[in-house]
Structure 1
Amino acid sequence: MSEQTAAPAAVIEPDAAVPSLPQLPPAPPASSRPPRRILRAVSRWTVAVLVLCGVGAGTAYEITAMERTDVPGLATESDGRWDYPRLSLPALPAGRPRPFNEDNTAEIHYADLRALLLPAPAGATVDKKLAGGWVSTRQFVSEYEEENRSDIAATLRDGGLRHIAARGWTMPDGTSSRVYLLRFNSTGFAQAFLDDRYIGGSAGDPLAGAADADLDESWSGDGKVAGTTAHVFAEAKPFGAAQVRQSYLAAGDTVALIVQSRKGSGGTPRVPFHQTVILQNQLLG
């Protein structure tokens, strides 16, 4: 509101008679109704509060109506899930689609592969050698029995491998996790690698310390991420000093290997392993 310009003061001559002031009309009685502008402001605030309450109630319903199995990142003490950070997909280069977008028929991951790695959960001690960056083929094949490493390396060398990213961590209960993402020149190369080395009714090349692995019959995560495939295995009893769980994920031009193990007769917990597989699959899809 702009300032009003002050009216000039009237000059009264010394000998001039001062006229009497006119009678002012009586003041109107005070109205019990507030001014209209106040009513309008109150009305607007009331509507805003009602809308916010409605949105909050709707959001709460959506979350509370979900089954706990539909929220894989939620940590619960009852079933042993880990407390992972809130996940988000990385930014893409300008004009590039997601791998399973209808405009991406080749199913290529254009995001930085390192940004697609699952982060470590709360309380984990991160492996300094597998801190979320690039790793060598030699590091990857070290996960397998020594007698098969040279053959696996040759398959990767001749099979269109572009690069490998990895992250590893250990939880307070001793559970060790390693996640490897392998990107190939095409979806065909990625699938050929799986077909050649691994998936053929068994876990394929045995991991170090886990000579015998069976399909995990308790796995029920297939179909949660469209366009991807998860193959889940667990070392059969009797296992050695530590039980090994493993999973291969196929997602377009990228293959993931997830390995978890824990020493002791109790084996490696199933629930956090399945949770880890589902979350990593979501990032790749």
Structure 2
Amino acid sequence: MSTDTTPNPEPSEPVEPTAPVEPTGSADPTDPDTAPETAPETAGDAVAAPKPDRKRAWQVGAALLLTLVTGAATAVAVTLPDRTDLPGLATPNDGRYTFPELTLPPLPAGASAPAEYKIKTHAADLRGLLLPLPKGAVGTGPSAAPSATGSASPSASPSPSASESANASVSASASASLPPVAGRWMPCDLDMMLAKDESYGQWLISDACRGAAAQGWTAKDGTRTELRLIHFGSQDEAGHFFSSVNLMPATKDIENSQTDFKGNYAVALGQVNVRLSDAEADGVPTGRIGWVQCGDVVALVQMTNPHGVPSQAFHQVVLLQSSLLV
């Protein structure tokens, strides 16, 4: 007798496959249960799809805009007046002058320039070695005219030899190629030095002054400049005279002065000594005296102004005058 009570399985009917359910429009794409699956191939194709090059377009546009703006700004800038031409923005004048182009006078036939000598010897027309008048200045005569006879002071006799002066004048007038000179001849006397004490004139005799030239002007600010070039027979004579006049405290235009030990004055060549007047205007000396020796020539630069002599102008004149003697 069989004890198996398991029912016999009946043959099952084949199950028909069901069609895939299409996602409805109400499906939530964020719901993982209802969101439609995306084929990997489709997602890859979407990432690789080219996009418009907007960055390059912006760069090109920005470059064009910058070019236009720069061009317009340049066009406006070139039509604007200079800063110095605008009221209230002009650069203040420090007193320096505007000189014409400096030129040296021609040398006599067979003569050499001072730079070619170990001992600097000047053979050119002494008047042509003076600074010309700066722009806007008015030419003036010497502060004290030299005596007509040349005998007012004990040092009048050693005036530049008459034949020397005459020959220089004749040769200058005879040659049409010679440029006009800046200064004029003066006798070697006390007046030429602008000195008060006649004892100073003795140095001109003892050191054998050979000739002298003068130049003078008054600038727009009222500063009066006097230039003197004194020619000696040798560098030693010029050096002795230079050492002596450095002790001269006063001139016909400056009551008293002191050596400027603190100042730093540039010269193209040689040595320089500067004196400042005791009188001042708002802390600025009303007179400045500069003595410069270059070889056989000693130069005097004197500048006076009751309102004060600009320091920059004095430095400029001393440097430029010395540069013509090199």
Superposition TM-score tier, normalisation by shorter sequence = 0.5 to 0.7
Query: In 2, distance between residues paired with 1:274 and 1:242?
Result: 14
Aligned partner of 1:179 in structure 2 is 227
- The 8 Å contact of residues 122 and 296 in structure 2, kept in 1 or not, is answered as yes
Structure 1 counterpart of 2:113: 98
Q: Structure 1 CA distance, aligned partners of 2:280 and 2:137?
A: 28
1:182–1:255 CA contact under 8 A, matched in 2: yes
Structure 1 outlier segments of 4+, above 4 Å: 237-242
Rounded Cα–Cα distance in structure 1 between residues aligned with 2:92 and 2:325:
27
- Give, in angstroms, the shift of residue 152 of structure 1: 1.5
* TM-superposition CA deviations, 1:57-78 (whole Å, max 9, x none): xxxxxxxxxxxxxxxxxxx854
Q: Which has the larger radius of gyration?
A: 2
Give distance in 2, aligned partners of 1:262 and 1:269. Answer: 9
Equivalent of 2:251, from 173, 184, 207?
A: 207
Residue identity in the other structure for 2:312: V
- Matched with 1:134 is 185
- Is 2:307 the partner of 1:259? no
Instruction: Work out which of the residue numbers 100, 108, 112 in structure 1 matches 2:121.
Output: 108
Q: Which moved more, 1:122-131 or 1:78-87?
A: 122-131
Q: CA 1:242–1:270 in structure 2 vs 1: closer, same or farther (change >3 Å)?
A: closer
Please point out which of 81, 86, 99 is paired with 2:101: 86
**Structure 2 partner of 1:248:** 291
Inter-partner Cα distance in structure 1 for 2:311 and 2:261 = 10
Question: Equivalences for 1:39-58 in 2 at 5 Å?
Answer: none
Equivalent residue, structure 2, for 1:123: 136
User: What is the one-letter code of the residue matched to 1:268?
Assistant: V
Gap regions ≥5 residues in structure 2? 1-90, 144-181
Distance 1:169 1:216 in 2: 27
Flag structure 1 segments of 5+ consecutive residues without an equivalent. Answer: 1-75
Structure 1 pair 98–193 and aligned structure 2 pair: CA distance change class (3 A): same
Distance, in Å, in 2 between the alignment partners of 1:97 and 1:138 is: 31
2:264 aligned partner, one-letter code: W
Residues 219 and 274, structure 1, Cα contact 8 Å, conserved in 2? no
Structure with greater strand percent: 1
What root-mean-square deviation, in Å, do the aligned CA atoms of Structure 1 and Structure 2 show? 2.4
Q: TM-score normalised to the size of structure 1?
A: 0.62
Per the normalisation by structure 2, the TM-score is 0.55
Residue in structure 2 matched with residue 232 of structure 1 by the alignment:
274
SS, match of residue 305 in structure 2 = strand
Task: Give the aligned residue type for 1:189.
Answer: E
Q: What SS does the corresponding residue of 2:298 show, helix, strand or coil?
A: strand
| Matched residue type, 1:256 | A
The answer on whether the counterparts of 1:247 and 1:257 sit within 8 Å (CA) in structure 2 is yes
Tell me which amino acid in the other structure corresponds to 1:111: A
TM-superposition CA deviations, 1:112-153 (whole Å, max 9, x none): 100001111011110145871111214214x22x3x2x2122
Residue among 219, 226, 240 paired with 2:264 = 219
Shift of 1:214: 2.8
Q: Which residue of 1 aligns with 2:311?
A: 270
